[in-house]
Amino acid sequence: MKTNRILEKMRRGERAVGAVMNFPSEEIVELLGIAGLDFVSFDGQHGAFSRETLDHLCRAADQAGLTPIARVPDIEASTILSYLDRGIMGITGPNIDTREQAVALAEACKFSPEGKRSFGSTRGNRFGFSEDRQAWMAHVNANILVIAQIESKTAVANLPDILGVAGIDLFTGGPNDLAQSLGFPGEPNHPRVKETMNEAARLIHKAGKKLAKEVMDSISIAELVVNSARALREKDKGQPTR
């Protein structure tokens, strides 16, 4: 049975390495596997991912030896289920502002008794072909990574309550949306934004929890392409023509 490479490394005190994609490409997923990465993350909140493309991308990730995870567009149970049923093994829930939303995120990601996820005979569940369904569901629960995204002043204010919710593995920020929430749109590096993010990190650590960036290193595929192209252009400047 498949295991979550991010959780495996986290439990050993190691860092997982992966890439973030905001557009679908099975070929890039294959290349990431050839590069020996641990995971690939699909940005379903802002990227163009349908259920069909997620099916294909998760299949490519499985074949490449990568753990597929995703940020979902919202934390409705039906939305999260549609990602998990495709084969996604980690969910980042955006805009977690309250304890109730954190509970909803955690419960949507896990089967009973840990949550309320519905069982479906989809590729994420081996199309329903498991000799011991109880054992399968327990294995899946142990290998689903749940990340809560804290990205507003309301979320930071409610963070002590959010941190008490069982089933959230990691926390992550959202400096651009937090900047807007604090009244500094387009200024993710504003001192007030940094101060608020530092306070959130302090509360997370005080509760014995971790930030996603402390256990996961990732690179944006879009940034990699653009930065590599720009570097090539800079290198070529001033070179004599042939």
**Which bin fits 186, alpha (ψ -120 to 50), beta or left (φ > 0)?**
left
pLDDT beyond 70 at 136: yes
Spell out the SS3 assignment of 26-61: HHHHHHHHHCCCCEEEEECCCCCCCHHHHHHHHHHH
pLDDT band at 180 (very low <50, low <70, confident <90, very high): very high
Q: Give the pLDDT score at 235.
A: 82
Tell me, what DSSP letter sits at residue 132? -
Q: Give the pLDDT score at 1.
A: 80
Element (H, E) at 93: strand 90-93
Q: Give the pLDDT score at 240.
A: 60
Average pLDDT score over residue span 142-160: 98
Encode pLDDT of 80-115 as tens digits: 999 999 999 999 999 999 999 999 999 999 999 999
44 C-beta neighbours (distance < 10 Å), count: 23
241 lies in some domain: no
pLDDT beyond 80 at 241: no
51 lies in some domain: yes
94 lies in some domain: yes
Q: Give the pLDDT score at 130.
A: 84
Distance CA 156, CA 115 (A): 25
Bridge partners of 69?
41
**Which bin fits 213, alpha (ψ -120 to 50), beta or left (φ > 0)?**
alpha
Cβ(31)–Cβ(61) below 8 Å: no
- Catalytic residue numbers, as ranges: 46
Encode pLDDT of 92-101 as tens digits: 999 999 999 9
Range of the domain at 72: 5-236
Average pLDDT score over residue span 50-69: 97
Q: Give the pLDDT score at 114.
A: 96
220 lies in some domain: yes
Cβ(42)–Cβ(49) below 8 Å: yes
Q: Give the pLDDT score at 126.
A: 86
Distance CA 79, CA 108 (A): 9
Q: Give the pLDDT score at 242.
A: 55
Q: Is 195 exposed, middle or buried (0-12, 13-18, 19+ CB in 10 A)?
A: exposed
226 lies in some domain: yes
Distance CA 51, CA 120 (A): 15
How many separate domains does the chain show?
Answer: 1
**Which bin fits 23, alpha (ψ -120 to 50), beta or left (φ > 0)?**
beta
209 lies in some domain: yes
242 lies in some domain: no
Residue 133: give its domain's CATH number.
Answer: 3.20.20.60
Q: Give the pLDDT score at 128.
A: 87
